[in-house]
Structure 1
Amino acid sequence: MLHHQHKKKRFTIGFLSANVAFDVESLLFQGMRQAAEKYGVNLVYISQLENENLDSFKHLSDLHGMRLENNLNKSDNRLQASSKYDKLQTIVKNFAIDGLIFIGWSKDAEDSNIHLLQQAFENIPIISVGKDIDNITSVYTHGSQYISELTKHLIEEHLCRNIALIAPRKFDKRIDRFIDTMQAYQIYDQNIVIDKEIEGINDSVMRINAAFNILFNERQADIDAVIVMTASEGKYALEYLQDRGIRVPEDIKLVCYEDHPSIAYSSPSLTTIDYPFEKLGYSSGETLVRLLNEGKAPLLTEIPTKIVYRDSCGCSINSAPRFEYDTVFYNSENASVVDLAAHLSSLFPSLNINFDKVINTFLADIKEEKTDAFLPILQDELKRHNHEYRETTLQEFINALKEATFPYYSDNELYNIRAEKIWFAAKYIVKDFSNHQTILDFISTDKINKVLKAINQSFMSAYSLPKIIHVMENAMTWLKIPSCFLHLSKNEQLHDDSLVFSYYDDETKNISEKQVADVFAHFVNRKREERFDLVVMLHSLNQSETALIVMEPGENQTNTLISYWVQIIAALKGAFLMDESQELIKKLAYYADTDPLTKLFNRRFFYRSLKSAIKKEQPFSIFYIDVDGFKPVNDMYGHAAGDDLLQQIAGRITFILGKTSYPLEHELLYGNAKANAIFRLGGDEFTVLFNSTDPIEIEAYVKKLIRFIELPYSINGQHKSVISCSVGISSFPADSNDLESLLKKADTALYCAKKLKNTFQIYSSIN
């Protein structure tokens, strides 16, 4: 078993995200936060958010009535596993993470990846949550066992015989247990198990529609019950059946896996397996802390759960739960209140309730030492902490409290009567509190969604990094995020030169100032002095740029932060795409204005440049250059040799006149070519905008050009003196301030020069 040799003052544990789209990760993280707070350790949520996760997240956000709009590039390839773990190793190192929790049903835990995960983090302990994995410390729930129990319930309690199953996205033991149970009752029908038929469909609505279309339309199946594997699919299955005019549960029983307010308060409410995500998160955090502190922990920790029977299978939502006595307390007449409180605290670690106070007040009430004090105190305890307590958890707490205190009044008939009245009222207080909390949650979610929508609209018009940063500054206050750091870099090293946004202590830090250049390191070092929770999310924007954000969640659920991060990614990709598009436009414009053979500017761009130069009213001259003797070379040696000769000529013109050419200015010019106002008009004709009208300077450069042009050239491997050039020159504004007239005068001067060849003629010198 791996453990640290040097015990730290405060450990930091990490939670490796599998698919940020699922609500279950928020519940797992919430449980881990409670454990981290209790044991005084730091917690870092790590997500390598890639585009396949983003697609899923868009769909699952519908469960909360929210759709995110983004312009993410769906064609990006997913990073290879080895590269992924390299990035994660860097994050683990940067945040000095001592141990890591990963999700047991994720791709990280698949046979092809688990060894990579173990190799990447061989120096720190790792724990699987949600599924037991060989030779790895695991905290899990036997979900398949409850699928079997739920199937038996439909068969025995509701006499169902044709039970359809819409299988999960990935094959697991739950399918086997369903099949085994149906076969045990000799009623298994493969025709109503939908699995491979909808493989590859990730959208829950599409999966449900496709599955029911196969069952009802293609196979004409006569079913009396259906089991689906997620709360969201349960919600959409109910909508589908009701839209089709099928009554639930009268015509078809509908049950699912996982609980959620959307199915607990649907009509009818859905029977489901209450998978204990929050308890799993808490226990995995607790187990990892124990492993770090003691160097050992149980290899396997099973977290039990239960089936929540509701209206959709034909059971009543208000049916009383079975009351089971805990033999430890029932037989322990001398158990103290302190013992009872400790026992309840161990059963319900996520409930931050003063168990001593609650127990003492209850016992005083039934003995009439106090009058009706217990119920108000119970309400105050529930309200005071403002936790998102789930109704099932609270009902379990009331049942456990009733069971634990029963020995104190079991032999007194009067106390029993008073106790039963209190428990009856407590049950409805819990139910009302849970309903109230659910309503508040929906109101809060609606408010957050409106804020996220407003932020998203701002991001949609932010096509540059400064504008994106401005939107982020406002979002910090709107979402009440305590701190946030955004890095853009070529790798995942959190160097200050990659830090583009820094926010903490209720203000954005100016990272360009020297005194706060090390703001991120300063923040992390300061936080190490106190306990912290951080959310770290990574995304590859393109082949070279990586974005990494570090946030303190505050009171936000991870889904809210992920929604915000998805928007930032979309904005960053839009900004990068805009930059790339502008760069592409520049390149295309350059190529459109360039002669492909000589790489000089072409006739089209010459006229635009000349017009622009005239508008600036700065003196310049036009050199019209015509090559003498080019056609015979082209005819004798071929077009390939002719093209090569033109390239050599262009190089010589650029060498002699490049630095003295007119300084071109145009927003679409690309690279160093903007310094050379040299053009190939076509064939063997060239022109130059010369940055002077001084006759002496013109004569000096043009003579140098003519001498240089007539030097030998390499033609088919041999040096030959075969060509010369003639040059005609006109000047602006001395000869004309009109474009056409200026060109005509340069052409006239060239005509005069060509009569003599290998010379030049200035228009103003013509008699």
Structure 2
Amino acid sequence: MTHDHKPLMTDKSRLTIGYLDDNLQNDFHNNVLIGIAEAAAELDVNIIRFGYYSSHIAYKFSHQVHMVLDHISQYQLDGLIFLGWTQAGPMYNEAMFMERFAGLPMLSMGTIFEKIPSVYFSGDEYISRITRHLIEEHGLRKIAYIEHHRPDNRRDFYDKEMREAGLADPALYVSADLLTGLDQDERNRKALSILLDERGVEIEAIVTLQIIEAGYLIDELERRGLRVPEDVAVVTYEDSHDGRFATPGRSTVYFPWRELGYMGCRYVTRLLRSGHIPMVDQINRMGRVHYRESCGCLPHYVQTGAAGTCQQQDIPLDQAADEVIEAMAAQLARRHQRAELNFSVLIHAFITACGQRDEKLFLQPLVQQMAGISNKARINEVIASLRSQLYPWLLHRQDDFLWGGDLLMQAQTLVQERSACL
């Protein structure tokens, strides 16, 4: 199904598109705006961002909604993008919103509306995956679920996995109406009190739907003397720098905030220029699950050796045939398609560095390649994968193994520093 709108006929050198956003200081909203800005630069369009108090504050002060909409109305916009769940949008004020912006091409990001085209990510299937992971990979049975403050159908997919595994138990479910009016810290203390104190449930894992709340949840579990993941595993939703670098690292669903903004800007621009876009584009293909320590998984760089998959090769690395090196590089490229790195060059540089015992011969090409990658590159795990390819060859000589392992540790530090800037 498509959404049609008369293409915009204008003599202006650039289209001007408005973006209605909440004022929240977190990675998620920043990444949406980064994605919009990247698409706007590619498409040569102007973006005007309209922000106001975050939605949970606007619930209490409805005049903020009218103020921001009045402000937007003063601009001669060619189109409007908005967060689907924002308090000033049509989710809560549909009649007023549609009347006020009648005739203006619009697009919703994150929520589907009957009369407005949308780009959205449905995390349902990923809640299924992460719940099933706890059941099948870790053998956990008492898996609690803390509902989001804005209930949605992700709960249905948790229920489905628990029912199919014969583990469904209403006592494991904490509904949003039991946690109303509480901030994030209080909300998680209350949820644990309901589960552990009021209901006396012996939980083995918890699914919580905000990565920020997962931090408060882990703090409260530890305050109660429960270790994560040894006593209680925790999995969550969304990803952030805090989630990646926290201890323990958070096992979580990656929500494609940046991609949402990027596709939203591209679609509304396409609507203005061509008059046709899909009514709905579901970008689930851009999501994934990051399994880290909080669910009980070993970090990726530890897992390879711990799993016993590192078998020594018959010859040392510097004697490996070129076709073997290229096969390793091709495998790394397939695994890390978004890394934007030339693995063949890096492997050859590593071999040369090991042979001459000069770390700069490997680290300098690595730094040079990372300097040229885009903000969309994903490089955080490439050294772990490179290590898994090289170690079977390095094991042939103990001094190569020790020296090469130290070099890869240096490389991992450089990659983490570069990744933090993306």
Range of TM-score over shorter length: 0.7 to 0.9
Whether the aligned pair in 2 keeps the contact of 1:257 and 1:274 (CA below 8 Å) is yes
Q: Which residue in 2 is equivalent to 1:39?
A: 43
Distance 1:398 1:38, change over 3 A: farther
CA distance in structure 2 between the partners assigned to 1:28 and 1:314 by the alignment: 30
> Aligned partner of 1:249: which letter?
P
Q: Which residue in 2 is equivalent to 1:206?
A: 186
Q: Which residue in 2 is equivalent to 1:436?
A: 417
Q: Which residue in 2 is equivalent to 1:380?
A: 368
Q: Name segments (4+ residues, structure 1) moved above 4 Å.
A: 80-84, 108-112, 362-368, 370-375, 387-390, 395-401, 424-431, 437-441
Q: Which residue in 2 is equivalent to 1:657?
A: none
Structure with larger Rg: 1
Match of residue 220, structure 2, among 204, 216, 240: 240
Distance 1:366 1:227, change over 3 A: closer
Q: Which residue in 1 is equivalent to 2:259?
A: 279
CA distance in structure 2 between the partners assigned to 1:170 and 1:225 by the alignment: 22
Distance 1:377 1:128, change over 3 A: farther
Distance 1:9 1:440, change over 3 A: closer
Whether the aligned pair in 1 keeps the contact of 2:179 and 2:191 (CA below 8 Å) is no
Q: Which residue in 2 is equivalent to 1:151?
A: 131
Q: Which residue in 1 is equivalent to 2:288?
A: 306
Match of residue 15, structure 1, among 14, 19, 31: 19
Whether the aligned pair in 2 keeps the contact of 1:4 and 1:124 (CA below 8 Å) is no
> CA offsets, 1:106-142, max 9 Å, x none?
3345554234333322332211112333342222212
> Is 2:154 the partner of 1:174?
yes
Q: Which residue in 2 is equivalent to 1:316?
A: 298
SS in 2 for 1:17: strand
> Is 2:205 the partner of 1:225?
yes
CA distance in structure 2 between the partners assigned to 1:134 and 1:397 by the alignment: 43
Match of residue 268, structure 2, among 283, 288, 292: 288
> Is 2:72 the partner of 1:88?
yes
CA distance in structure 2 between the partners assigned to 1:133 and 1:428 by the alignment: 49
Whether the aligned pair in 2 keeps the contact of 1:141 and 1:302 (CA below 8 Å) is yes
CA distance in structure 1 between the partners assigned to 2:256 and 2:72 by the alignment: 28
> Aligned partner of 1:173: which letter?
N
Gaps of 5+ in 2: 305-329, 354-360, 387-392, 394-400
SS in 1 for 2:379: helix
Q: CA deviation at 1:45?
A: 1.2
CA distance in structure 1 between the partners assigned to 2:409 and 2:12 by the alignment: 47
Whether the aligned pair in 2 keeps the contact of 1:82 and 1:116 (CA below 8 Å) is no
SS in 2 for 1:233: helix
Instruction: Kindly indicate whether structure 1 or structure 2 has the higher relative contact order, using CA contacts under 8 Å at least 6 residues apart.
Output: 2
Whether the aligned pair in 1 keeps the contact of 2:22 and 2:53 (CA below 8 Å) is no
Q: TM-score, normalised by structure 1?
A: 0.42
Q: Which residue in 1 is equivalent to 2:83?
A: 103
Distance 1:366 1:240, change over 3 A: closer
SS in 2 for 1:18: strand
Whether the aligned pair in 2 keeps the contact of 1:35 and 1:285 (CA below 8 Å) is yes
SS in 1 for 2:201: coil
> Aligned partner of 1:288: which letter?
V
Q: TM-score, normalised by structure 2?
A: 0.74
Distance 1:10 1:110, change over 3 A: closer
Distance 1:142 1:270, change over 3 A: same
How many residues are matched?
Answer: 361
Q: Which residue in 1 is equivalent to 2:196?
A: 216
Match of residue 10, structure 2, among 6, 28, 31: 6
Q: Which residue in 2 is equivalent to 1:191?
A: 171
> Is 2:376 the partner of 1:394?
no
Of 195-204 and 158-167, more deviation after overlay is shown by 195-204
CA distance in structure 2 between the partners assigned to 1:50 and 1:257 by the alignment: 20
Gaps of 5+ in 1: 56-75, 321-339, 402-413, 415-420, 442-767
Whether the aligned pair in 1 keeps the contact of 2:16 and 2:48 (CA below 8 Å) is yes
Whether the aligned pair in 2 keeps the contact of 1:169 and 1:202 (CA below 8 Å) is no
CA distance in structure 2 between the partners assigned to 1:115 and 1:51 by the alignment: 19
Q: CA deviation at 1:398?
A: 9.1
Q: CA deviation at 1:44?
A: 1.4
Distance 1:427 1:308, change over 3 A: farther
SS in 2 for 1:269: coil
CA distance in structure 1 between the partners assigned to 2:125 and 2:261 by the alignment: 20
Q: Which residue in 1 is equivalent to 2:53?
A: 49
> Aligned partner of 1:394: which letter?
I
Q: CA deviation at 1:366?
A: 6.8
CA distance in structure 1 between the partners assigned to 2:273 and 2:110 by the alignment: 23
Q: CA deviation at 1:187?
A: 1.4
Whether the aligned pair in 2 keeps the contact of 1:81 and 1:113 (CA below 8 Å) is no
CA distance in structure 2 between the partners assigned to 1:429 and 1:299 by the alignment: 48
CA distance in structure 1 between the partners assigned to 2:218 and 2:149 by the alignment: 19
Whether the aligned pair in 1 keeps the contact of 2:90 and 2:97 (CA below 8 Å) is no
Q: CA deviation at 1:204?
A: 0.5
Q: CA deviation at 1:84?
A: 5.0
CA distance in structure 1 between the partners assigned to 2:43 and 2:213 by the alignment: 37
Match of residue 27, structure 1, among 28, 31, 42: 31
Identity %: 28
Matches within 5 A, 1:399-414: none
Q: Which residue in 1 is equivalent to 2:358?
A: none
SS in 1 for 2:190: helix
> Aligned partner of 2:413: which letter?
D
Q: CA deviation at 1:86?
A: 3.3
Q: CA deviation at 1:174?
A: 0.9
Q: CA deviation at 1:431?
A: 4.4
CA distance in structure 2 between the partners assigned to 1:288 and 1:157 by the alignment: 42
Q: Which residue in 1 is equivalent to 2:308?
A: none
> CA offsets, 1:287-308, max 9 Å, x none?
2222222222233223221110
Q: CA deviation at 1:181?
A: 2.1
> Aligned partner of 2:262: which letter?
Y
CA RMSD between the two structures: 3.8
CA distance in structure 2 between the partners assigned to 1:365 and 1:262 by the alignment: 29
Q: CA deviation at 1:256?
A: 0.7
SS in 1 for 2:209: coil
Q: CA deviation at 1:427?
A: 8.6
Whether the aligned pair in 2 keeps the contact of 1:86 and 1:120 (CA below 8 Å) is no
Q: Which residue in 2 is equivalent to 1:732?
A: none
Distance 1:389 1:235, change over 3 A: farther
> Aligned partner of 2:144: which letter?
A
Of 138-147 and 3-12, more deviation after overlay is shown by 3-12
Whether the aligned pair in 2 keeps the contact of 1:101 and 1:128 (CA below 8 Å) is yes
Q: CA deviation at 1:168?
A: 0.5
SS in 2 for 1:4: coil
> Aligned partner of 1:317: which letter?
P
Whether the aligned pair in 2 keeps the contact of 1:7 and 1:293 (CA below 8 Å) is no
